[in-house]
A and B are shown apart, each in its own frame.
Chain A
């Protein structure tokens, strides 16, 4: 992509509302890497929850809104493999093809595939373990890209998560419709996280992190959940600090 790419940030409704620090970190990171970042105010939600729960008709206008809102950008970056998957894989079925859908990238894909960087100049002196979320892994196929990015972070003590590719049990409305099964899956995921001795659990999706983090918080484990973007945005000059 020649020159400074004009990037549209799709924050996702969950991150916009509950985890603004993640979206601010994406802005900071992409601008540091030379992108022009814009946040079109018309954006709301990709419609995934409606679609996956069986309410297709409610998701359809949201796909249309997305196609219109992000029509003019070189690329759209979303800090979510799940919403990214919804947009790239499902929106065309709901709305017909649109450039905004094919130009949408999950953050690690955009960094590694489009910008061609793995060392983003980050510094994060903590013990970290990484959970590859199901949709980034199996719907988008991001593979090891997030781990490549994390390995290049200075000061990080990155430890492998046992049974990493097992679902954490979130699954959108699955977490409430089948709360008992979801919680059983969560329990095993938390055990694996705690086994690593990491003080930070990272992932590319705040939805899964909210689920695992909700369990870790309930048990007062002291493990912090943190989106990949916030680790990558952290530098020696301006290191990450808890915002709440």
Chain B
């Protein structure tokens, strides 16, 4: 694909990318430690709330209300933002959004922008687009900074450098920073990043952010974060440009009550995130004096049209599903080939790409054992396994009926549709017991070899259950 920057050009299909990741011992170690730590912390933070399940239901209901009346809420939101002095832009896709940001930045006479961590701008490949237009984008979230300085790709929604440990981070800093620390103590690394970023905050004229929520009634925009870098970006520069997916709305101010409980506990396992910034249009003499809001579609309207798939648009980017996923824990995020990795990425990326002929995107819904751990933790109750299976059906449809798999499945379906054929196949298959040694079969021809490469198969018994039943009870 490549025309849509939500997936990275050149990433192979998931099984191939995963194989490489599985062999990376440092990655395996970093991921296991990080996911297990955050997993346990989240469970404790959630246990504290007796009404957690009700909160999840409320989160689901509010988001569904917005999604079913999105046009109304978007127009209300646009009117409110405009009334308070903001300028609203609409972007159909990544190219349009990037073009608007570049134009606004040039108009402000800036050659550098500071950025608040944002999935929407990562999704559209904004940094690369700005770079091509001669504008440098500086990531100010610590983990994003590590990824940017390391010329790397993110591997997690919340902690994009989760695949890096502190000695790797020290190496990156030593290579890229003027005043790099000698120690790999977290405190020393954070201090180096602070000094590096402070200069950027004080000189920046333009900031670019995403948005966690937009309040339709008031036109307010909300960003939650932990490090305070967001607060600096949102208050110091003269011009603020916010790129926000059209699904990020809540109807009214009071709906935030639900999400400001769900989000921090699910993502960082905190009762409350350290910084919650809310702004409404422009306040004369205080903060940015120009506020531009870009409302981004980029495949969301298509996803909304899909009755089963649209629930993915409820996502509030907490990444709890990544942290509990047994597949993500072993492969890490880069194997998904997208800024949205893990279970949510496996259902969101193919929908945003919206082309099941794209082999990489079509492989993502299969990157799951359907264990259901993601659905269990999702704060807005996205039934991820259900959407995965739905997208698998779309992938199968796109591939047509002539693939070896489709033909095998059709043949098996024909056998299973009739008890007599089924029993005949059972009897024929039972002859495989003569291949067995010591009750087990250790090698089968392809595609069975994919199983027997690592696991034995029990020898089929001489008598199936139904034969036994007929013999003894029939």
Given A20-B461, A169-B326, the answer on whether A178 and B15 have CB atoms closer than 8 Å is yes
Contact (A24, B15) CB under 8 Å given A16-B426, A138-B371, A179-B453: no
Alpha-carbon distance between A142 and B392 when the two chains are bound, in angstroms: 27
A232 within 8 A of B: no
List B residues 390-424 near A (Cβ within 8 Å): 392-397, 405-406, 409-410, 412-413, 416-419, 422
Closest to B470 in A: A41
Q: Contacts of A17 on B, CB cut-off 8 Å?
A: 426, 429-430, 460, 464-465
By the criterion CB–CB under 8 Å, are A178 and B367 in contact? yes
**Residue of A174, A213, A244 touching B368 (CB-CB under 8 A):** A174
- Whole-angstrom CA separation of A13 from B395 in the bound complex: 26
Interface residues of A in 186-244 (CB under 8 A from B): 186, 210-211, 213-215, 217-218, 243-244
Give complex CA distance A17, B412 in Å: 14
Let me know if A45 is at the binding interface, CB within 8 A. Answer: yes
| Per-position 1/0 for A44-61, Cβ under 8 A of B | 110100111111101001
Cβ A180 vs Cβ B417 within 8 A: no
Q: Does A118 contact B (CB under 8 A)?
A: no
Q: Which residue of B lies closest to A134 (CB)?
A: B371
Task: State whether the Cβ of B14 lies closer than 8 Å to any Cβ in chain A.
Answer: yes
Give A161-183 as 1s and 0s: 1 = Cβ < 8 Å from B's Cβ atoms: 00001110111111111111111
User: In the bound complex, what is the Cα–Cα distance between A13 and B426 (angstroms)?
Assistant: 9
Interface residues as binary, B44-73 with A (CB distance below 8 Å gives 1, 0 otherwise): 000000000000000000000000000000
At the interface, is chain A mostly helix, strand, loop or mixed?
A: helix
Q: Does B440 contact A (CB under 8 A)?
A: yes
> Is A39 close to B, CB under 8 A?
yes
A-B interface pairs (CB < 8 A), number: 185
Give the Cβ gap from B22 to chain A, nearest Cβ, in Å: 5
With A178-B14, A181-B330 as known contacts, state yes or no: A218 contacts B417, CB within 8 Å. no
Is A7 interfacial (CB-CB < 8 Å)?
no
| Distance A210 CA – B455 CA, assembled complex (angstroms) | 9
Please determine whether A52 and B468 come into contact, CB atoms closer than 8 angstroms: no
CA distance A39 to B409 in the complex (A): 26
Contact residue among A15, A174, A183 (Cβ-Cβ distance under 8 Å from B370):
A174
Q: Which of B19, B330, B455 is the one whose CB lies under 8 Å from A214?
A: B455
Complex Cα–Cα for A52 and B18 (A): 21
Contacting residue for A44 out of B373, B394, B395, B419, CB 8 A = B419
**Is B187 interfacial (CB-CB < 8 Å)?**
no
Question: Would you call B450 an interface residue if the criterion is a C-beta within 8 Å of the partner chain's C-beta atoms?
Answer: yes
* B454 engages A179 (CB within 8 Å): yes
Q: Are B455 and A211 in contact (CB under 8 A)?
A: yes
Contact call B469/A39, Cβ cutoff below 8 A: yes
Complex-state Cα separation, A19 to B455, whole angstroms: 17
Task: Please tell me the size bucket of the interface on B.
Answer: 35 or more
| Residue B458 CB within 8 A of the other chain | yes
Instruction: Select which of A16, A44, A61, A167 is within 8 A of B369 by beta carbon.
Output: A167
B451 in the interface, Cβ–Cβ < 8 Å? yes
Contact B22 A180 (CB under 8 A): yes
Q: Are B413 and A50 in contact (CB-based, < 8 A)?
A: yes
Q: Pick the residue among B409, B442, B450 that contacts A50 (CB under 8 A).
A: B409
Contact in complex: B15, A180 (CB < 8 Å): yes
Q: Write out the residue numbers on chain A whose beta carbons fall within 8 Å of the beta carbon of B416.
A: 13, 44-45, 47, 62
Check if A122 is an interface residue, CB within 8 A of chain B: no
Asked, given contacts A58-B410, A174-B370, A218-B455, whether A52 binds B389 with beta carbons under 8 Å apart, the answer is: yes
Complex CA–CA separation, A135 to B115 (angstroms): 42
| B439 in contact (CB, < 8 A) | yes
B389 touches A54 (CB 8 A): yes
| Residue in B366, B368, B464 whose CB lies within 8 Å of A16 | B464
Q: Does A65 contact B (CB under 8 A)?
A: yes
B residues 374-401 in Cβ contact with A at 8 Å: 375-376, 389, 392-397
- Please indicate the chain B residues that have their CB under 8 angstroms from the CB of A20 in the complex: 461, 463-465, 468
Q: How far is the CB of B466 from chain A (nearest CB, A)?
A: 6
Q: Which of B327, B373, B409, B469 contacts A138 (CB 8 A)?
A: B373
Using Cβ atoms and an 8 Å threshold, which residues of chain A touch B396? 53-55
The minimal Cβ–Cβ distance linking A134 to chain B, given in whole angstroms, is: 4
In the complex, chain B residues whose CB is within 8 Å of the CB of A175: 450-451
Q: Could you mark each residue 319-341 of chain B with 1 if its beta carbon is under 8 Å from any beta carbon of chain A, else 0?
A: 00000001100110000000000
Closest B-chain residue to A213, C-beta based?
B458
CA distance A51 to B473 in the complex (A): 33
Once bound together, how far apart are the Cα atoms of A186 and B461, in whole Å? Answer: 25
Once bound together, how far apart are the Cα atoms of A185 and B29, in whole Å?
14
* B457: interface (CB < 8 Å): yes
Distance of A134 Cα from B430 Cα, bound (Å)? 29
Is A51 within 8 A of B331, CB to CB?
no
When distances are taken between beta carbons in the complex, the residues of chain B under 8 Å from A16 are 426, 464-466
For A189, the closest partner residue in chain B by CB is B326
Is A159's CB within 8 Å of the partner chain B? no
User: Which residue from chain B places its CB closest to the CB of A175 in the assembled complex?
Assistant: B451
Interface residue A4 (Cβ < 8 Å from any Cβ of B): no
For the complex, is A184 an interface residue (Cβ under 8 Å from B)? Answer: yes
Task: Write the chain A residue with the least CB distance to B399.
Answer: A54
CA of A134 to CA of B451, assembled, Å = 20
Q: How far apart are A188's CB and chain B's nearest CB, in angstroms? A: 8
A17 to chain B minimum Cβ distance, whole angstroms, is: 5
Specify the chain A residue showing the minimal Cβ separation from B398. A54
**Chain A residues with CB below 8 A from B417, complex form:** 44, 61-62, 65
* Residue contact A167 to B366, C-beta cutoff 8 Å: no
Residues of A within 8 A of B330 (CB): 181, 184-185
A181 engages B455 (CB within 8 Å): no
Check if A23 is an interface residue, CB within 8 A of chain B: yes
- Chain A residues whose C-beta falls within 8 Å of the C-beta of B375 in the assembled complex: 138
* Cβ-based interface call for B284 (8 A): no
- The B-contacting residues of A in range 1-51, CB under 8 angstroms, are 11, 13, 15-21, 23-24, 39, 41-45, 47, 50-51
Q: Does B85 sit within 8 A of A, measured CB to CB? A: no
Contact (Cβ within 8 A) B419 A42: yes
For residue B372, CB closer than 8 A to chain A, the reply is yes
A-B contact pairs, 22 of them (CB 8 A): A17-B465, A41-B466, A52-B370, A54-B396, A58-B412, A134-B372, A135-B370, A167-B369, A171-B370, A171-B371, A172-B369, A174-B368, A174-B369, A178-B15, A183-B455, A184-B330, A185-B327, A186-B454, A210-B458, A214-B456, A215-B455, A218-B442
Counting from the closest, the 6 A-B pairs by CB-CB distance are: A171-B369, A214-B455, A54-B392, A58-B413, A138-B372, A54-B396
